[in-house]
Structure 1
Amino acid sequence: MKNIFVLAMLAFIVFSCKPKENMVYMENDTSGFENQVKQAVFEGSHLQTGDLLDIKVTAFDEFAVRPFNLESKNQVNYSKILPNQNTQKDSEGYLIDNEGYIVFPVLGKIFVQGMTMSQLRKDLEDRLLEYLTDPMVSIRQLNFNITVLGEVKKPGQYNSPSDKVTILQALGMAGDMTDNGDRTKVKLVRHENGIDNTYVIDFSDKNITSSPYYYMQQNDVLYVQPDENKKIAANVNPNRNLWFQIGGAFLGVMSLIIGLTR
């Protein structure tokens, strides 16, 4: 009789707790080739409406370059250069308007939506050749925002000083996944061509670094959904764990009583 209770207790413990799977990042090789870890090519974030850019122009002639920089705004009479045109500039940078344009001193309205910053840099340098000798343009995005939600330790929206942010770094900003996070079906929501597309990423795959979604884009949302254990726990009687504890305690007490009576 005692053995029956012991076996019942062991079965209760085994079947009430499912072991965790895929807890390690980049452990599995879905490609079928060992050690085939490649690095995705970083092409840069594509500019969107609402992005805020810090743009600096330099050239050999420091005086000639002054009209093209924001800090010189109060020292230059733009009404003579651009009559009947307002230079739309934010106090901290150039804001891409709802139509995808920035308004640049002297150059006027420039459509930038969809460009990467390297493409915009090349475009501006080509335009400035009409006014400057060997112009150089540096661009920095001031409001690169990503959001990490779900089974992470610190969900929220994060701002990065660089647009080169990987999905692993995004998880690091959010304190990593919790033990209840499903590492094989993480969802990435990305706004592309006017619509929101959803992609599923397997963080247990060692070839994740070669994924086309390895680098985050502006306003990406990374969602870590709960694993099956947490889904089951959330959809059953909230007193389920309590009943497991009571059942385990009952089996333990019965086993002790039977042992003392023998």
Structure 2
Amino acid sequence: MGLVVMLSLLSSCASRKDLVYFQADSTALNTAYELNAPKLQPGDILTISITADDIRATEPFNQINAYQTGTAQNVNPFIPTYSIDNDGFVDFPKIGKIKLTGLTRTQAVNKIRDEVSKYIVNPGVNMTIRNFKVTVLGEVVRPGTYTIDNDRITLLEALGLAGDLTINGVRSNVLVIREQNGKKDEFRVDLTKREALNSPVYYLSQNDVIYVEPNGARIQSSKYTQNTSIFVSIASLIITIVAVVVR
């Protein structure tokens, strides 16, 4: 049993280069959010509301909940919600279908503002992605799916939400799976190097999946399951019997 414990401890040893994030090197950091901002996709659920100095002028553009009238509407106003269809369009009041897929949130806001400006002077457009979520799996403290309040989240922030990598997580080969234009792409990120901050998936998109693979020690330790417990129990019994016979 002592030998098993010793081998387990030796196999779990990890060097500094395996554990430390963003080790110093000469890599220049040039990540720009504007170039890597997530793009709107079919299935995204958006809240869009129009504002202006003349509130009455915005009424045709803001959906009203039929059950929300009178003072209740003033206390808790209804926020219009739209879903991007499979062809990339939302059906917006008065304007009709607007194609938003492939645009960043900022670009989509500007496009809607241009359309609404044909009817309202200096309109404001507020938009959020209601179903922006990322999934973190593997060797992290709290694996799961996390809903994000806005569309700006980094790979590091997502790992932070999941409680960071465990000591058994491979930091040099983090996998990010992203669906783009109907197909899934894989990106590998080495968090031990500063160049990770320049990765095209440093800023995450909605529905990204992050997977942290286990290291050798974790894989090895998984072999010591119930069978190991049985082996240890049998070994202990044999030792006890030998001790009694010798005595």
Instruction: Tell me the residue number matched to 2:23.
Output: 27
Q: What is the distance in 2 between the residues matched to 1:181 and 1:72?
A: 48
Q: What is the distance in 2 between the residues matched to 1:216 and 1:149?
A: 15
1:231 Cα shift?
2.4
Identity of aligned residues (%): 35
Please tell me the residue identity of whatever aligns with 2:46: L
Q: Contact conserved, 1:37 with 1:209, CA < 8 A, in 2?
A: no
Give the SS at the match of 1:38. coil
Runs of 4+ in 1 over 6 A off after TM superposition: 72-75
1:28 Cα shift?
4.8
Q: Contact conserved, 2:48 with 2:80, CA < 8 A, in 1?
A: no
Please tell me the residue identity of whatever aligns with 1:51: D
1:235 Cα shift?
5.6
Q: What is the distance in 2 between the residues matched to 1:163 and 1:73?
A: 30
Q: What is the distance in 1 between the residues matched to 2:79 and 2:122?
A: 27
1:9-24 matched pairs, under 5 angstroms: 13=6, 17-18=10-11, 19-21=13-15, 22-24=18-20
- Alignment partner for residue 186 of structure 2, among 198, 201, 220? 198
Q: What is the distance in 1 between the residues matched to 2:125 and 2:23?
A: 42
Please tell me the residue identity of whatever aligns with 1:40: T
1:1-262 matched pairs, under 5 angstroms: 13=6, 17-18=10-11, 19-21=13-15, 22-29=18-25, 33=26, 36=27, 38-43=29-34, 44-71=37-64, 93-234=81-222, 239=228
Q: Contact conserved, 2:132 with 2:206, CA < 8 A, in 1?
A: yes
CA radius of gyration, larger in? 1
Any gaps of 5 or more consecutive residues in structure 2?
A: 69-77, 240-247
1:13 Cα shift?
4.3
The number of residue pairs the alignment matches comes to 218
1:39 Cα shift?
5.0
What value does the CA root-mean-square deviation take over the aligned residues? 3.0
| Inter-CA distance 172–179: structure 2 relative to 1 (3 Å threshold) | same
Q: What is the distance in 1 between the residues matched to 2:33 and 2:153?
A: 10
TM-score (norm 2): 0.78
Any gaps of 5 or more consecutive residues in structure 1?
A: 1-8, 76-89, 251-262
